[in-house]
């Protein structure tokens, strides 16, 4: 049995560890805020490139209606694309989940739930397996080998006689011969 190496004591004190952890958290928070600001800037740049400012001043009512209809048509196209992309993302996430489950199954790390013990009779098991159309009863007690009580009682009743007479009759060489002959007769 290999011995585990003794755990080394940390060379950094607890207060120093706490200070380092707090510094790391503060640095991560700063980087996260910086990342959010950069994303907002990128979004604004993209919108400036793709969506030019609209000049409404000096337009007649019919021109404004035409502009609104054009913008609504573009919105409809964008909404359709967004819907299609969302559907693809949902499909892909389902597929990823299914594949992850398959991978876990293959690895053998899938945790099976604790099963409760349920008492079910043999008839109920057969009904569930064969269906309700088949009427099969499985009476296990009926299939057991039956033993007649009379046979066992006959075997138990052995001649009980005075043991002193039996000892006198079996003493000597003749008694042993009688025992040998009696045993031989029973075996045949």
Main-chain dihedrals φ then ψ at residue 58, nearest 5 degrees = 85, 10
pLDDT number for residue 101: 87
- pLDDT tens, position by position, for the chain (188 residues)? 456 666 677 788 889 999 999 999 999 999 999 999 999 999 999 988 888 788 888 888 898 899 899 989 999 999 999 999 999 999 999 999 999 888 877 777 556 678 888 787 777 777 777 777 666 666 666 666 666 666 556 555 555 566 666 666 666 666 666 666 776 766 66
Position 50 scores a pLDDT of 83
Helix (H, G, I), strand (E, B) or coil at 122: helix
* Per-residue model confidence (pLDDT) at position 12: 83
Q: Are 54 and 74 in contact (CB under 8 A)?
A: no
Angle, helices 172-187/163-170, rounded to nearest 10 degrees: 100
DSSP string, 28-47: HHHHHHHHHHHHHHHHHHHH
What are the distances in angstroms from CA 96 to CA 84, 89, 139?
A: 18, 10, 50
């Amino acid at each position: 049995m290999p011995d585990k190496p003794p755990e080394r004591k940390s060379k950094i004190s607890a207060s120093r560890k706490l200070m380092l952890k707090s510094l790391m958290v503060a640095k991560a928070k700063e980087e996260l805020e910086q990342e959010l600001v950069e994303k907002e800037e990128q979004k604004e740049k993209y919108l400036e490139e793709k969506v030019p400012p609209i000049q409404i001043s000096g337009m007649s009512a019919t021109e404004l209606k035409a502009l609104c209809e054009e913008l609504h048509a573009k919105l409809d196209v964008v909404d359709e694309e967004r819907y299609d992309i969302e559907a693809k993302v949902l499909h892909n996430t389902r597929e990823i989940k299914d594949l992850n489950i398959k991978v876990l199954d293959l690895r053998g790390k899938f945790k099976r739930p604790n099963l409760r013990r349920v008492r079910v009779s043999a008839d109920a098991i057969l009904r569930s397996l064969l269906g309700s159309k088949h009427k099969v009863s499985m009476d296990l007690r009926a299939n057991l080998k039956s033993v007649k009580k009379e046979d066992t009682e006959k075997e138990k009743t052995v001649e009980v006689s005075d043991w002193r007479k039996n000892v006198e009759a079996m003493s000597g060489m003749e008694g042993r011969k009688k025992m040998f002959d009696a045993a031989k007769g029973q075996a045949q």
